[in-house]
Structure 1
Amino acid sequence: MHGGGSTGTAAAQHADRLAWALGLTTAYMVAEVVGGLVTGSLALLADAAHMLTDVGGLALALLAIRFAAKEATPQRTYGYLRMEVLSALANAVVLLLLTAYILYEAYQRFLAPPEVLGGPMLIVATIGLIVNLISMKLLTGGSSESLNVRGAYLEVLGDMLGSIGVIVAALLMMWKGWVLADPIIGAGIGLFIVPRTLGLLRQVTHILMEGTPANVDLGTLEVKLKAIPGVTAVHDLHVWTVTSGFDAMSCHLVVEDLSNGRKALQEARRVMKDNFGIDHVTIQVEDETLRNAEPILHV
């Protein structure tokens, strides 16, 4: 028997904020690329690379929300809810690739430091810091509810710290004439976000592998289901995440008397919703006879 769940996503609740952040980030990314080319600063270009992933991540997040709103079909019974997870995966991979390139470029510049214009670099980085702080404020609320919003938030966080790094590099070059500050800060910007990106990548992989959600203790869940009056056993118990904010569960409940199966099912659904926040459940109610019956083979 099946209990339906909402097809909404956590990211959809923050679509307007994502759109505002996308507009701000895109406008500043263009300015930062121009500034990096004019000043010759790797730190600025590295920050611009992170801004590019922000633009891609935010655009993918909004695209995922659009697809997630589509109705399910016989071919895609969950609709396009997994688009959010796939876009978060793409964000993480692209960011890691860009980081590798930035580190390579930093190595080349460390061997032969080019001339960098510190003054214009400082102005561009200061504007970037302001833009990133505004974007972070817009995305803070949704970062704990949606993988896509979390991915975008982490990228903006990296850019905010990157802007601070660029400001530091510009000041060091202007006051101390230390030209190596630019490639060192550029490499630092690339390295800073790697652990957080790997964490996001682990989360996405866990969902795609249909692992048990972090907020669900499967042992506790099984104990609560077995405590339902009339239930003698629970087997084939699975809990997984379809997309952020949408978990699902399926299991077999073994009952003493099938005439009490309806009550056991209702109680199981209540347990899932009240204790674990899951209302999308698929439960088969059976007695020991059905449990031990030989499977029917179709040729």
Structure 2
Amino acid sequence: MPKTESIKITAILGPTASGKGKVSLYIAEKIGGEIISCDSMKVYLGMDIGTAKATPEARAKVPHYCMDMVRPHEPFSTDTWLKHAENAIRDIDSCGRKPILSGGTALYLKALREGLFEGPSADLELREELKAEAKEKGNVFLHDRLKKIDPESAERIEINDIRRIVRAIEVYELTGKPISEHQKEWGKPRPEFDIKLYGIRWPRDILRERIAERVDRMYEAGLVEEVRRIHEAAGFGRESSQALGYKEIVDFLEGRCSEDEARENLITRTRQFAKRQMTWFRKMDIEWFDVTPDETAETLAGRILKKILDK
């Protein structure tokens, strides 16, 4: 008979710079797990430093999936990630191993838990009108327009993410209902996966410090050279160009700001992004683990592991 029991998945979540990668690796080693990346920017080849991708050493210890899938100039969608993640989970489970989801892209997690809202077909004429409006009046103008019709979506969509702003406005114009409302209607748990969510939560001031320290480490590791190499080759695509660190350094490389300004912009934008991530996560049934300043990744992982094994 075909297997009908839900596949049990452990998800290690948290905002950027919370230490998800180290904790996930430790837990995977202890329980015979393999890691599925739940990060929309780790799918890009060569974007390693700025995305804090798992090192070759870590990937040699524990298999990682949904990383290095396309080149930065190529398109990538949530649907593509979902298909690869589902296949990886089933393969890991069929081998008697434990699937561990690790990352901070809440949309990917929601898609895995509840499926995808497809929405109405694209209205190309409307899209071009909205893009022209953004070009003429600026991204802020279009984002403000979205805020008036769908404040919930506006809160989680960045001002520079024109593609998603346009889609959200398009759905509203075509259906008369905000895309955030449509997404709530589609959100029903999928029976084939039993996903337990564990979150890493730092005090806000300490997370802000960790973000600044992480940016410094990325610069020391060669982030500017990594961005320059990609920029001078095929460049970045629509999705990858929004990645934290890459957009700011491209601005520096093209003379729109100094290197110091790019660094400060990156720190500010990362902190803002972490705040938006927590807004998303608060809507999910996550079991949070509050971290103390002197706690190591191994100690934290041990606390989470104990909870996993107790269930």
TM-score (norm 2): 0.27
The structure where helix makes up a greater share of residues is 1
Higher relative contact order (CA 8 A, sep 6+): 2
- Tell which structure's C-alpha radius of gyration is larger: 1
TM-score, scaled to structure 1: 0.28
